[in-house]
Structure 1
Amino acid sequence: MNARRRIESYYDALRAGEPLGPYFAESGSGDDALVKFGISERLVGGDEIRAGLRRQTETTTDWAVTSRALRVTERDRRAWFSDDVAMAWTDAETGDRRAFETRWSGALERRDGEWRFVGMHVSTADEL
């Protein structure tokens, strides 16, 4: 699987409510530099990222994710990407629907033959 397909697979897993932690690099020596910025969070290190993604999966449902401008550059063991993504979900506790136009960027590294995120940044300027 190339880096582009890995990113698309992450979007698919998000839509399906599947675990997202396996898409990120494992914690280990020097991996405290792994970071994931979400719309309202900053998670540092593989363990914190996985815990945050578990909470997200447990507390949200009905994800809609529409990629509009995915650009991926892949070089040997490294890749980086950017995308414009329309996304929406339902808060499982309150039933409130949230929707955003977002910008995504990040970096992946090939580890043990699989592409893993080592950095991700999701931001938004406006709520829909």
Structure 2
Amino acid sequence: MTPEETVRAYYDALRAGDPLAPFFVESPRTVKVGISERLVGYAEVAAGLREQTRTTDDWRVESHDLTVVERDDCAAVSDEVSLSWYDGEAFAERSFETRWSGTLLASDDDWAFAGLHVSAATDLDAGTDR
């Protein structure tokens, strides 16, 4: 898979409720920053993603501007993504316009995130900029 195919496969897995941890490098230095958390180390990232999958449903993931720069065995990615999902713990729909950036590393024929940062550009529920 190419880095772009890996990112698109991650989006598909998120929509489908499939495991997301396999998309990350198994390292204590792996980092995932989400809208409301910062997870450091593969174990913490994997646990956070399992909890997210357990407590959410009906993900809508719409990529608007995926950009990938590949150099040898690493790649930088950036995207603007409309996200929405059902929060099963709060019994509420959540929607955000988000900005994504990340670094992927190559291993064998696959790519995995060493770092992923997702931030909210606009809270569609409140209609305010962040």
Question: TM-score band (shorter)?
Answer: over 0.9
For 1:70-81, list aligned pairs within 5 A: 70-81=66-77
**What residue is the counterpart of 2:9 in the other structure?**
9
Contiguous gaps of at least 5 residues in structure 2: 125-130
Distance 2:67 2:14 in 1: 19
**What residue is the counterpart of 2:78 in the other structure?**
82
Query: Is 2:117 aligned against 1:121?
Result: yes
| Number of corresponding residues | 124
| SS of 1:80 mapped into structure 2 | strand
For normalisation by structure 2, the TM-score amounts to 0.92
Distance 1:11 1:65 in 2: 6
| SS of 1:33 mapped into structure 2 | coil
For 1:1-128, list aligned pairs within 5 A: 1-27=1-27, 32-128=28-124
| SS of 2:112 mapped into structure 1 | strand
Distance 1:2 1:94 in 2: 37
Distance 2:3 2:84 in 1: 24
Q: Deviations over 1:39-98 (max 9, x none)?
A: 000000111000000000000000000000000011121001000000000012332000
Contiguous gaps of at least 5 residues in structure 1: none
More displaced 10-residue stretch of structure 1: 61-70 or 118-127 = 118-127
Question: CA-atom RMSD, angstroms?
Answer: 0.9
For normalisation by structure 1, the TM-score amounts to 0.94
Q: How many percent identity over aligned positions? A: 55
| SS of 2:25 mapped into structure 1 | coil
**Runs of 4 or more consecutive aligned structure 1 residues displaced over 3 Å after TM superposition:** none
